[in-house]
Amino acid sequence: MKALGCHIILELSQCNSEVLRSLSKVKGHMVEAARRAKAQVRKVAFHKFSPQGISGVVVIAESHLSIHTWPEFGYAAVDIYTCGPTTDPQKACDYLAEALEAKQVARSVVERGIESPVGSYSHSIASSQDTLSSSLIPVGRVPERI
């Protein structure tokens, strides 16, 4: 089973609310996450809402990373989608969980673009949830692409 892309959906809970309120920190962490995944950053667009919350996207040659924060709940919703064999999206996940100081991480990995024998495409999904202590526990690895 060969997938064309890997889409990781992260639910980061009990994050540092001050970090989630800071446009410069969230933007910087997202760009750094893309770099750690060995992705090629093409465009960056972020918006801070009033009274709080940030939405943003880092467009990469291999697809995108996006985030929306709810500082009042200590929560961030993150999508990381990469195509091709040169990136490691799990490195972006691990970095963001640490940088946003998440204590709970729920992750779904969607392997996308799996071709069927009749030429249509589908996906497969695997999910997990981890509790992080004061020292970061790795949130697991993305399944190997075949």
Encode pLDDT of 64-117 as tens digits.
Answer: 999 999 999 999 999 999 999 999 999 999 999 999 999 999 999 999 999 999
Predicted confidence (pLDDT) per residue in 98-112, tens digit: 999 999 999 999 999
What is the separation, in whole angstroms, between the first and last Cα of the chain? 6
How far out from the chain centre does Cα 128 lie?
Answer: 14
The domains found in the chain, sorted by start residue, are 5-131 (3.60.90.10)
Taking the C-alpha atoms of residue 49 and residue 122, their distance in angstroms, rounded to an integer, is 36
DSSP string, 68-93: EEEGGGTEEEEEEEEESSS--HHHHH
Residue 144: predicted pLDDT: 44
The pLDDT confidence band at residue 133, using thresholds 50, 70 and 90, is: low
Taking the C-alpha atoms of residue 24 and residue 58, their distance in angstroms, rounded to an integer, is 14
pLDDT of 142 above 50: no
The pLDDT confidence band at residue 140, using thresholds 50, 70 and 90, is: very low
Taking the C-alpha atoms of residue 68 and residue 57, their distance in angstroms, rounded to an integer, is 9
Predicted confidence (pLDDT) per residue in 5-64, tens digit: 999 999 999 999 999 999 999 999 999 999 999 999 999 999 999 999 999 999 999 999
Phi then psi for 70, rounded to 5 degrees? -125, 85
- Which active-site residues does the annotation give? 63, 68, 83
Task: Tell me if 54 sits within 8 A of 76, measured CB to CB.
Answer: no
